[in-house]
A and B are shown apart, each in its own frame.
Chain A
Amino acid sequence: MKRHLLLTCLLGFAAFAHADEVKVAVAANFSAPMQKIAADFEKTTGHKAVISTGATGAFYAQIKNGAPFEVFLAADDETPAKLESEGLAVKGSRFTYAIGKLVLWSSKAGFVDPQGQVLKKGSFEKLALANPKTAPYGLAAVETLKKLGLAEATQAKLVQGETITQAYQFVASGNAELGFVALSLIWKDGAIASGSAWMVPTDLYSPIRQDAVLLSKGASQPAAQALLQYLRGDAARAVIKTYGYAF
């Protein structure tokens, strides 16, 4: 009898410990704020968020093929909607956790003027951006160039990174003098960390909404729901803001 009780207790603990963990797939551009949020989340709730970062399209393919993620923080709003319509995510659990901001950035100080006139002058060899076909920030960059009437003029100078972080790398290494990157990548403590930048006005591109969704695997997982709840809270939003996102 005693042994039986012990076993029940152990099994109970095991089940509890398991329920305490939530597996989250996070878009690469949101990796840094998510690490911070996950640490705070664990302190506040005792639940542990296990983070995997990667490209949104790759996560989609993995989730469709049985990946064990319970929560998905995508880099766009289309992929979570698609997962929901395909029955792989919980209906009604979607919301925008962050809105990305686009900047024109150079690693050289003073190269980019505050009005972004440098684009019109064309005194640069290469202009980096993320792949517009696959990355929302890339699409936003192309929209901006079109609105400014510079799509044709810059066509031959464009170099594409597969992700926004790769576009950033092209500019940071100086291989491209200029590039459209996510503000979150160059923002530190309320200012641009290095180089020079033009904050692209938000009326030049459609909002880069990053949506989160509860995946079917996490439907009955209290920790997964708690994490989504926490993401909408003031504490998480304060962190998100310091990393250069709006919402």
Chain B
Amino acid sequence: MPLFPDSQDWLAIWLTLKLATTVTLLLLLVSTPLAWWLANTQSRARNVVSALVAMPIVLPPTVIGFYLLLLMGPEGAVGRLTQALGIGLLPFTFAGLVVASTIYSLPFVVQPIQNAIEAIGPRPLEVAATLRASPWDAFWSVVVPFARPGFLTGAVLGFAHTVGEFGVVLMIGGNIPGSTRVVSVQIFDHVEALEYARAHWLAGGMVLFSFLVLLALYTLNPQARRK
């Protein structure tokens, strides 16, 4: 058994962490207003939006990846838009993986935050309003501290879920070292090439990583357990 992962493996690990970090930050930005809206709206569109957000949980990643490949391709609606904007096509790029992973991991971030916001109830915000706090002020001094466990759970799950992504990346990635060849794809390649010893380093590392992430989540954030 070789003693250490080689440079290609490290490159894949670095890329995976970069992807997961970027996606997590982006997801927090997108999910917070979305979760807020879902938690507070009376709109009829609520159920439709909730269903759309939750779809990546039930859809096979190959379905998401396949349709993203077509949508982001030169004939697809998104592909035409990105080309018109001068960005070029998204498949086979890091940016493409970021977009795909954001969609794919969205429910894992929106739902915990939404639950946490719903758990606050209307009272604290009403109190804040009577104290003449602006909505922006109330959000930062009431919602964020009260819903902190939800944000933490969402961020950890979004990060971990992106690290564990395989099917979507496989469909739109193109296996390019340093830009789309993430750890899960690298493991698949090692297994396919019958390089089991090298696969074990990365695969075993993933097992350990997932355990540690979830352990940290449950230790730091006891509320996550009740979900």
Contacts and interface: CB of A to CB of B under 8 A. Distances in A.
B68 to A, nearest CB: 11
A131 B173 CA distance: 12
A162 interface: yes
Interface residues of A, number: 24
Interface string B162-192: 0000000011001110000000010011011
B75 interface: yes
Chain A interface SS verdict (over half): mixed
A176 B73 CA distance: 9
A161 interface: yes
Given A173-B75, A174-B73, A175-B69, A159 B176 contact: yes
Contact of B69 (A82, A131, A133, A169): A169
Contact of A60 (B75, B175, B185, B194): B194
Contacts of B191: 57-58, 61
A80 to B, nearest CB: 13
Contact of B175 (A55, A57, A82, A159): A159
A57 B174 CA distance: 19
Most chain B CB neighbours (cut-off 10 Å) among A60, A159, A175: A175
Contacts of B192: 55, 57-58, 131, 133-134, 162
B70 A173 contact: yes
Contact of A173 (B69, B176, B189): B69
5 contacts: A57-B191, A61-B191, A131-B189, A173-B69, A175-B89
B74 interface: yes
